[in-house]
Each structure stands twice: as structure tokens, then as C-alpha cells.
Structure 1
Amino acid sequence: MTVIIAFLANILVAIAKTIAAVITSSASMVAEAAHSWADAGNEIFLLIADRRGARTKDARHPLGYGRNAFVWSLIAAFGIFTAGAIVSIMHGIQELSETGPVESPLVAYIVLGIAFVLEGASFTQAMVKSRRLAKERGSSTWDFVLETSDTTLRAVFFEDAAALIGLVLAGGAILLHQITGVAAWDAVGSILVGILLAVVAIILISRNIEFLVGTTAAPKLRARVGTALLALPQIERVTYLHIEYVGPNRLFIVAEVDLAGDALEHDVARRLRDVEQRIEEHEAVETVVLSLSVDDEPSLEFSAS
């Protein structure tokens, strides 16, 4: 739903900005139009990411298809960089030598105002969801958005935030052009919007790459998983724990554990399978693999903080 709301908002805003760019001949409005069309296109990639990443695991993909979400989100991030950042910066540089006046600036202000309301509504929805999830995890909203494996939520959050900042930059550039009569201000606005998009794209690209190559779980998540394992009555201690994201909010867990009691080998194997099945019932766990610890291996300790 977050992506659909953002997509509809971007389509409406992109159409309005394109019309305003034609009427006003403003470089900043051209940059904003390119920005919104790029965002709208990227929402399609994010919808594909959600759809393909949600497929259930099978024999060919025992860890599921969740990493598809990171791949398509990475493509969307490159779209922001190419269709948004590069176009805006290049157009702004080309317009630096222009000396024409701002045409129909009122149209630009009206469109920017409407766009701010629509983008603000989309950003508010993403912000409310991010704050709620961050509170559940005992994290700040900013840290949660940066660290979350929900790549779609992060993309929408950053795209909408960039859109709001870009609207302010564009409006300010047009106003300075109108007040001073120096057209370079409008071109500078386009360049600044491009730089803003480049920064956002680089952040999104780097985060998706980290999840694709297998980033380590955050210490708080590792502590929660370790504590949850030790809370199971069948497990006495944990000597090894590996946690890896195999999709948005989907975990692959490998652990070496010492089971309670002194059962026979056959019974131990059955108990391990039973514990694995119980852990995999959790909605965030895609697959878990447990093996037995060696007696002389030190136990891991997990802090709740």
C-alpha cells in the first residue's frame, strides 16, 4: 500500500510539473518533472520487487526468493541516479548561460504547492509506518530506515523526503530568479535538485548492495535472536550464531546449540528437527539450521540492550 500511494502521488505530480515546465520554461521545474517521472517509474520496480520477493521457497531456491526485492530495488535506485540526478544536473548546467525571465511564475508556485501536499501525504504515511516499526524495535526512526531490510519502505521514505526538499529548492530558485532577474538561480536550483537525488540514490544503492552480498545482522537483532533461542526449553546454550537476511524481514539462521538432557543420537536428531520447525513458524524466519555444539566450545552471551 505504501508503494501504491507513492506511485499515484508521483504520477499526478509528474503530469502537473511537466505542464508547468512547458508553461514557465523553468530549469528547476524541468528538473522537478524529471524527478517525479523517475520516481513514478521507480515505484513500478518496487512493486515488482514486492511481488517477486514474496514468492515462497521451493527446491531450486531453498532460501526463498526474497533477494529479488534487493535486486529490483537496486535497479530502481540506479533509475533515480540516471533519470533523476544526471538529467537534472546536466539540464541545469546547460541553462546556466540563459538570461530569459521567469514566465508565469504563479503557475510554478501553484504546482509546487500542490505537489508538496501530495508528496507530503505520501511521506507522512511512510513516516508513520517507520516510526511505529522503529518504536517496536527500540530504535530511532532514522536508524531504523537506514538499517531495515524492508528496502521498499526505505526507498519510499527517502524518495518522498527528497521530493519535499527538492520542491523547496525549486521554489526558492524560481523566487530568486524572479526577484533578482538572474536566470542562473533557476539553473542552480536544477543542479541542486540533481545533487540531492544523487545523494539519495547512492544511499539506496549502497544499502541494497550490502543486503545482496550478505550484511551482518545488527547487534540488537542478534541479541533478540540469541535470547529467543535460549528461551526455548530444549536449548541449554548457544555456541555459534549466524544471521543473514535472505529478503525483506526474512532471516536465515544457523546456530550451534547444546540441547538439554543426555538423549541418544537418534533422539537428539529428532529433537533438533522439532526445534527447527518450531523456530521456522516465526513469520520472520525463512530457514533455520541447527547443529550440536562441542563440549569445550564457549557459550555465547546475549545482552538485551
Structure 2
Amino acid sequence: MAASSKKVIYAALIGNGLIAITKFIASVFTGSSAMMSEGIHSLVDTGNQVLLLLGLKKAKKPADKDYPFGHGKEIYFWSFIVAIMIFAVGAGISIYEGIHNLMDPHPVQNPLINYIVLGLAMIFEGFAWYFAWKEFDKVSGDRGYFETVRKEKNPTFFVVLFEDSAAILGLLVAFIGIALGQWTGLYIFDGIASIIIGIILGVTAAWLAYETKGLLIGESADPKIINSIAGMASNHAAISNVNEVLTLHMGPNYILVNLSVNFKDSLEVASIEQDISKLTDQIKEKHPLVKRVFIEAEE
């Protein structure tokens, strides 16, 4: 899963980097506010890919005395930072550029350059989006797409897909804004397009922040895994009752499990220790994402 998410990020990084350079060059030659906003959009997306790669790298750091459960949540933190970056930088500057253009509208020079750049950008973004969609579709499996976004514990898959989707929508808005300005002679359409691009980025950022917040705070494992663990414990010969099964994702590939159970009164301490060890091994064998299991004996 980590390798697949890295491929998606690298594909988006290369594509967005090249597109950003092209858009900025086009904005200088044409003076288009919408094109400048699109350049900022692609530049922010490029920076976001770097942050996601940084998060994946830091998440691999081994556990130590200060972080006994590892650094898996690093990817959640940096995914949240990506959402803030999209909102603060991408949306903020795009809306500012649009308002500035509305206050002082001016004609777009050499609009053909913009059309060529936007057309090429749509092709590049389309390939990046398709690649991200394929990986996201593999992860979703039998789940619906909205359910996958809510329950997927590796945010890199849907973060990149959201970014690419917003990028394609932004390109369409920029294209329409420039075309309307040229067709009608009303140059405010360029500024309006820039503001709409900023709003698209703001909505995308808000959605990403909402989805990554739960992961950052600490979400439980998939209900199927929880029910499976509860069933294994209930069927264990030494356990008379399962009181509670608590789980926590410490990262995309790290689940912490805490079991509260009642052991049969007739058991000796040595036997209980063996049963705990046996049940722990069974849980980890069936669910490889479970790295630590704590079993609490209650009366």
C-alpha cells in the first residue's frame, strides 16, 4: 500500500511541477489573472506532494522511548497541513488575485497561449487523475467511494485524488473565464474565474481537513476487524466474557488493540499468561495490521 501511494504522489508531483512552470510563463505573457491563479494552484499542489512524501518518510521512523508506538501518525499530520496549505495559500491568493482584477480589469494578451497551456494542462492533469483514481479504486474494493474516503486510513490516496479533481475543475473554470472575456469583451470574467478557482480550492481544503481530522485525533479500526477480534476472544476457552474491544489506528498500517475480558475463575495465573500469549498471537496472525495487543483482566 505504501509503495502504491508513493507512485501516486510522484506522478502528481512531476505533473504539477511542470504544469506550474508552464502556467506562470503563460500568465506573464498574457497578463491573465485566472492563469496566475492556476499557476499558484499547481505550485501549491506541487508543494503538497513534497509534504506528503515527507509524511510517509517520517512515518517509517521506528518507535523509541519518546514515541513508544512509532511515528505512524506523521502522515496524518502532514495530510492536515496539506489541507491548510490549499486553503491559506491556494484559495487565499487566488481570491485576492481575482478581486484585484475586478478592481482593475484589463484585457488578456495573446489568449491563444492560455488556451494551449490550459489544453496541455488538462491532458497532464487527466493522466495524473486517472492514475490516482485507479489506485483509489483498488483501495475501495467493495466499499462505496464516499465510504472509502470516510474509512480509509491512508489519506494519501484520497488527498491526491481530491487535489487532481480540484485541478481539473479549476482548469475548466479558467478556460471558460478567459473565453468569455474574449468573446464578450468584459474583462471581469477573468477575475471572476480566479475567484471561483479560489472557492474551489477552499471547499477542497475544508473537505480534506474534515476527513484528516478524525485520523489525526485517532480513529478506531474497521468494524469488521473489531468484530473479528471480539469473536476470537469470545471463543477462547479461557475467557468467559468479553467486556470491551478498543482499537486505535496509530498509522495506516498500525492498529493498537485493548481487550477487556473476564477469565474463568478456575484458571491459575500461569495458565492465564499462556492464554493471553496464545490469543495475542492469533489476533496478530489473522490481522497483520495489529501490532500491539493489551489484554485487561476484569472480574
Unaligned runs of 5+ in 2: 1-6
1:59 is the counterpart of 2:65: yes
Q: How does 1:197-276 map to 2 (within 5 A)?
A: 197-217=201-221, 221-231=222-232, 234=236, 238-258=242-262, 263-276=267-280
Shift of 1:244: 1.5
- Aligned partner of 2:25 among 14, 19, 22: 19
Q: Within 2, Cα distance between the matches of 1:274 and 1:132?
A: 34
For normalisation by structure 1, the TM-score amounts to 0.88
1:286 is the counterpart of 2:291: yes
Shift of 1:222: 1.9
Q: How does 1:60-139 map to 2 (within 5 A)?
A: 60-135=66-141, 138-139=142-143
Q: Within 2, Cα distance between the matches of 1:88 and 1:99?
A: 15
Partner AA of 2:236 in structure 1? Q
Q: How far does the alpha carbon of each residue in 1:167-206 deviate from its partner, in whole angstroms, 9 at most, with x for none?
A: 1111111111111111111101000000111111112222
- Aligned partner of 1:41 among 40, 43, 47: 47
Change (3 A) 1:99 1:250: same
Please say which of residues 139-148 and 110-119 is displaced more in the overlay. 139-148
Residue number in structure 1 paired with 2:3? none
Q: How far does the alpha carbon of each residue in 1:13-57 deviate from its partner, in whole angstroms, 9 at most, with x for none?
A: 101111111111111100000000001011111001001112232
Unaligned runs of 5+ in 1: 295-305
- Aligned partner of 1:155 among 143, 156, 159: 159
Q: How far does the alpha carbon of each residue in 1:247-280 deviate from its partner, in whole angstroms, 9 at most, with x for none?
A: 1242211122356895322211222133224433
Residue number in structure 1 paired with 2:10? 4
- Asked if 2 retains the 8 angstrom alpha-carbon contact of 1:226 and 1:238, the reply is no
Change (3 A) 1:125 1:272: same
- Asked if 1 retains the 8 angstrom alpha-carbon contact of 2:230 and 2:245, the reply is no
Count of residue pairs the alignment pairs up = 289
Question: Secondary structure, in 3 states, of the residue corresponding to 2:125?
Answer: helix
- Asked if 2 retains the 8 angstrom alpha-carbon contact of 1:174 and 1:185, the reply is yes
For normalisation by structure 2, the TM-score amounts to 0.89
Partner AA of 1:124 in structure 2? Y
Shift of 1:287: 1.8
Q: Within 2, Cα distance between the matches of 1:64 and 1:276?
A: 20
Q: Within 2, Cα distance between the matches of 1:100 and 1:90?
A: 16
- Asked if 2 retains the 8 angstrom alpha-carbon contact of 1:20 and 1:108, the reply is yes
Q: Within 1, Cα distance between the matches of 2:148 and 2:78?
A: 21
Please say which of residues 142-151 and 32-41 is displaced more in the overlay. 142-151
